[in-house]
Amino acid sequence: EVQLVESGGDLVQPGGSLRLSCAVSGVTSTPHWMTWVRQAPGKGLEWVANIKEDGSETNYVDAVKGRFTISRDNAKNSLYLQMNSLRVEDTAIYYCARDVALAGLHWFDPWGQGTLVTVSS
């Protein structure tokens, strides 16, 4: 059974940077697409970014393009999200999830427990 554990969330000032990590355990021999989804306090789910199995393709929501970078290290079974130029509106719980990609469709299972990022002065 795949388990995901996020870390790295913190309180940071606007304009600052943060790097989130997601440790993947119980993996099969085949890597999967991976994704980050965030949830602002009291709000719904917002997809942030995803990355292909070998890291050769990445996609981002428009709101974070040019500021966030998703990456992975399959040798370490880890996923990362480098967040620069953080804004107050980036405040959210950030979840990593396995991105199940089949026939061009994607859904997310399982999810980590989330890590809280707070952007405030």
Buried residues in 1-35 as b, exposed as e (16+ CB within 10 A)? eeebebebbeebeeeeebebbbebeeeeeebbbbb
Asked if 65 and 80 touch (Cβ cutoff 8 Å), the reply is no
Told to check if 2 binds other proteins by CB under 8 A, we report no
Told to check if 95 binds other proteins by CB under 8 A, we report yes
Binding string, 29-58, against other proteins, x = CB under 8 A?
------x-x------xxxx-----------
Interface stretch with other proteins, choices 12-20, 21-29, 73-81, 98-106 (CB under 8 A): 98-106
Told to check if 104 binds other proteins by CB under 8 A, we report yes
